[in-house]
Structure 1
Amino acid sequence: MKFTRNAKAKWLGSGKDGKGHLTTDSKVLDNTQYSFHTRFEDGEGTNPEELIGAAHAGCFAMQLSFLIGEAGFTPDELSVEAHVHFEDGSVTGVTLDLKGKVPGMDKDKFTEVANKAKEICPISKLLKADISLHANLL
C-alpha cells in the first residue's frame, strides 16, 4: 500500500507574537490555530508536539491491535497516552502509557506484543527518519 497524506501550515508574523493555522486535506484540522502561546504557555489552539503525540498514540494503538489479532486475540480496549517531552528546543522523547483489556491474553504476551508494536509502528519509525526539504523563496 502506498499513499501520501497532506497538511498545510501558514504562519504570520514573528515567532513570539505571530500566529499560524494548520489545515489537513481531510479537514479534521481546518485553519486550526497555533501560536507561541499554545505551544509554550496556555492558549486556545494546538501545537506541533500535541499533534505528534496524537499521531503516535493513534498509530501505536492501531498497530498493536493488528499484532494482538495476529497472536489470536481480540482486544476489548486499548487506551494509549503519548507524552511528548520537549526540552531546550528539542523533542527529547515520547513516553507511551498503554492500558489494555484483552480477554485470554497474559501479561507477558501483552508486553511482548506491545514492545513489537512500539518498534514497528510507522510513527515510531518516522521519529527516527531522515527528513527531506524542498525550499523555495517567494
Structure 2
Amino acid sequence: MDPAYDVYCEACPTRLVLDRLADKWVLLVMGLLGREPLRFNQLRREIEGVSQKVLSQTLKRLERDGLVARQAFATVPVTVEYSITPLGRTLSDTVRAVGLWAETNIEAVLAAQAAYDAQSGTEAGAQTSRATT
C-alpha cells in the first residue's frame, strides 16, 4: 500500500476508482469480460437492462482507466471486441467475488429487509397512533 494515498481522505484520487467500482454496470461488464473477450452487442445481450448509451459510456470509462481494451476489426460493418487488460485482470477476482457474494446472500438480505420494514412499519404505526390520541 502506498502511504501517499488514503481512500478515506476526501481529496485522494483513489476515490475516483471507488466511484467507478460503485457502478453496477461496471461490475457487470468487468465480470463478463473477466471470462472472455466480447463484442459490444454480446455484452448488451448478456447484461439485461443496460441501454446502448450507458454501456457505451461504461466501456469508454473503463478503457480510459486502463481496465478494458477495445479492438476494432476491419469488417463490414466494423466489428469491435472488448477484453480485460492485465490491470483489469488484477480486479476481476474481486469483482467475481462480489457478484458471487450477492447471489449467495440475496435471500438473507431480502429477509433482513423484510424484518426491518416490518419493525419500522410497526414503530411508525405506534408513533402515529400515539400522536393522534
**Greater fraction of residues in strand:** 1
Same fold (TM over 0.5): no
TM-score, normalising length: structure 2: 0.24
More helix per residue: 1 or 2? 2
TM-score (norm 1): 0.24
Report which structure shows greater RCO (CA 8 Å, sep ≥6): 2
